[in-house]
């Protein structure tokens, strides 16, 4: 069986977003005996040993297409023989709703909305991450395709153990503990609360490290050197209390940076994106054994709280965030959290998470597809409502 995985992101030595997911899933599929290729954004290359990378637009190959619904093309809906697995783990509509609204964002929202009925009409299986995503997708499925296989396949961690290398960062004193903001600074994320919490902790030997380099595949950083300077002035922080990570760390070497961290933080604002999220970057903390600090909301925050992987605070609560940082930096809580993360690690290997998908692949399709015409009519209705001013 030949499987094509599609991602809109760029693969390479440095990666972000759905590129990480496509690469790790592709590696497991190939090692499990499936001939696998990844169709990725222009400029992509293989990050290491694994599936062949093909150029964007070479999407006709394969017996199975595994893709986010947002990446589907019109001809994909007309392929009646190739099986279609919809990867619904990235909550793109919620992300777009959280962005400042301009013409380009509005167009992307419309495109995402109209693809949902069409994708669900043609899907042979649907991948989700957690309870909130399952409910969201089942609401869109309704009763029309109640028998469609819906698999819980969230973000995982690599088969390889994190290395022992510890990164040395310019401007970071060796005796300073590190809070690592891991990932980009998107409108739905809340770096501001973390900055204010760090400021409350005063002049202790503690550095907040924030990536300011350009995200792979992007043209500019949403939080660059100028934004870093403004944040320092706004919160009365000074080097090395706040340090910018000027380049996007190579995927193969990210464990070195994680090993230098005492806390990995990903905070967000309240909203639909938070509720539907599954924080991929937080899973790097599980892999490397770094205590996590997350905001309430989303599947990973529930896992952190239930598994004693770190701390969970109310969105926007500066005082409780500062208190959580202080607590997590204590030797007792460092040891407790790292032990809990080590005990949880094996369950989150990509090979374990993908077991159910590997089992059902030869059995697809397991149910009848819906005719395209009713789905197209629902898409047109959605389009007319959104153009009329409704967001939902």
Q: Which two tokens stand for residue 179?
A: 């809070």
Rounded CA gap, 288 and 177, in Å?
16
Contact 218, 224 (CB under 8 A): no
pLDDT at 392: 43
Domains, the chain, ordered by start: 2-158+353-387 (3.40.50.2000), 177-348 (3.40.50.2000)
Label residue 72 exposed, middle or buried (CB < 10 Å: 0-12, 13-18, 19+). buried
Rounded CA gap, 14 and 300, in Å?
24
Inter-CA distances, 306 with 265, 282, 288, 299, 326, Å:
17, 15, 19, 11, 20
Rounded CA gap, 387 and 109, in Å?
10
- Beta-carbon count within 10 A of 355 CB: 11
Q: What is the 3-state secondary structure (H, E, C) of the chain?
A: CEEEEECCCCCCCCCCCHHHHHHHHHHHHHHCCCEEEEECCCCCCCCCCCCEEECCCCCCCCCEEEECHHHCCHHHHCCCCCEEEEECCCCHHHHHHHCCCCHHHHHHHHHHHHHHHHHHHHCCEEEECCHHHHHHHHHHHCCCCCCCCEEECCCCECCCCCCCCCCCCCCCCCCCEEEEECCCCCCCECHHHHHHHHHHCCCCCEEEEEECCCCCCCCCCCCCHHHHHHHHHHHCCCCCCEEEECCCCCHHHHHHHHHCCCEEEECECCCHHHHHCCCCCHHHHHHHCCCEEEECCCHHHHHHHHHCCEEEECCCCHHHHHHHHHHHCCHHHHHHHHHHHHHHHHHHEHHHHCHHHHHHHHHCCCCCCCCHHHHHHHHHHHHHHHHCCCCC
- Count Cβ neighbours within 10 Å for each residue of 206-228 and write b for 16 or more, e otherwise: bbbbbbbbbbbbeeebebbeebb
Q: What's the N-to-C CA distance of the chain in angstroms?
A: 39
Contact 142, 370 (CB under 8 A): no
What is the CA angle 299-300-303, rounded to 5? 95
Do β-strands 150-152 and 125-128 pair in parallel, antiparallel, or remain unpaired? parallel
Closest C-alpha to 234, from 181, 293, 193: 193
pLDDT at 386: 62
Q: Which two tokens stand for residue 331?
A: 């030797």
Rounded CA gap, 262 and 273, in Å?
27
Rounded CA gap, 53 and 56, in Å?
9
pLDDT at 343: 97
List the pLDDT tens digit at each of the 392 positions of the chain: 999 999 999 999 999 889 999 999 999 999 999 999 999 999 999 999 999 999 887 768 999 999 999 999 888 888 878 999 999 999 999 999 999 999 999 999 888 988 999 999 999 999 999 999 999 999 999 888 889 999 999 999 999 999 999 999 999 999 999 999 998 899 999 999 999 999 999 999 999 999 998 888 777 888 999 999 999 999 999 999 999 999 888 999 999 999 999 999 999 999 999 999 999 999 999 999 999 999 999 999 999 999 999 999 999 999 999 999 999 999 999 999 999 999 999 999 999 999 999 999 999 988 888 888 888 887 777 776 666 554 44
Maximum C-alpha span of the chain: 64
- Count Cβ neighbours within 10 Å for each residue of 229-263 and write b for 16 or more, e otherwise: eebbeebebeebbbbbbeebbebeebbbbbbbbbb
Rounded CA gap, 132 and 138, in Å?
10
């Amino acid at each position: 069986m030949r499987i094509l995985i599609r991602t809109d992101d760029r693969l390479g030595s440095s990666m972000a977003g759905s590129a990480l997911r496509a690469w790790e899933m592709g590696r497991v599929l190939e090692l499990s005996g499936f001939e696998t290729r990844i169709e990725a954004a222009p400029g992509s290359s293989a990050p290491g040993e694994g599936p062949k990378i093909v150029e964007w637009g070479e999407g006709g190959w394969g017996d199975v297409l595994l893709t986010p619904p947002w990446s589907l093309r019109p001809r994909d809906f007309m392929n009646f023989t190739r099986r279609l697995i919809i990867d619904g783990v990235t909550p793109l509509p919620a992300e777009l709703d959280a962005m400042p609204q301009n013409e380009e964002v509005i167009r992307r929202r419309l495109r995402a909305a109209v693809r949902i009925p069409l994708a669900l009409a043609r899907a042979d299986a649907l991948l989700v991450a957690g309870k909130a995503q399952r409910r969201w997708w089942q609401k869109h499925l309704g009763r029309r395709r109640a028998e469609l296989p819906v698999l819980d396949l969230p973000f995982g961690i690599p088969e390889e153990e994190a290395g022992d290398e510890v990164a040395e960062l310019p401007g970071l004193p060796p005796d300073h503990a590190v809070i690592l903001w891991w990932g980009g600074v998107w409108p739905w994320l809340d770096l501001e609360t973390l900055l204010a919490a760090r400021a409350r902790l005063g002049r202790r030997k503690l550095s907040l490290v924030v990536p300011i380099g350009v995200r792979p595949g992007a043209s500019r950083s949403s939080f660059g050197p100028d934004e870093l300077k403004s944040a320092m002035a706004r919160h009365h922080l000074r080097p090395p209390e706040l340090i910018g990570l000027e380049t996007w760390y190579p995927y193969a070497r990210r464990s070195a940076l994680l090993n230098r961290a005492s806390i990995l933080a990903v905070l967000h604002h309240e909203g639909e994106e938070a509720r539907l999220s599954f924080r991929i970057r937080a899973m790097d903390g599980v892999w490397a054994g770094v205590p996590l600090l997350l905001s309430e909301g989303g599947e990973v925050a529930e896992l952190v709280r239930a598994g004693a992987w770190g701390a969970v605070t109310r969105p926007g609560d500066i005082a409780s965030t500062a208190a959580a940082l202080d607590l997590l930096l204590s030797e007792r809580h460092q040891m407790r959290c790292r032990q809990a993360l080590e005990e949880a690690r094996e369950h989150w290997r990509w090979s374990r998470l993908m077991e159910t998908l590997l089992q059902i692949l030869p059995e697809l399709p397991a149910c009848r597809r819906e005719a395209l015409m009713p789905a197209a009519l629902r898409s047109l209705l959605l389009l007319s409502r959104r153009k009329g001013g409704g967001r939902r």
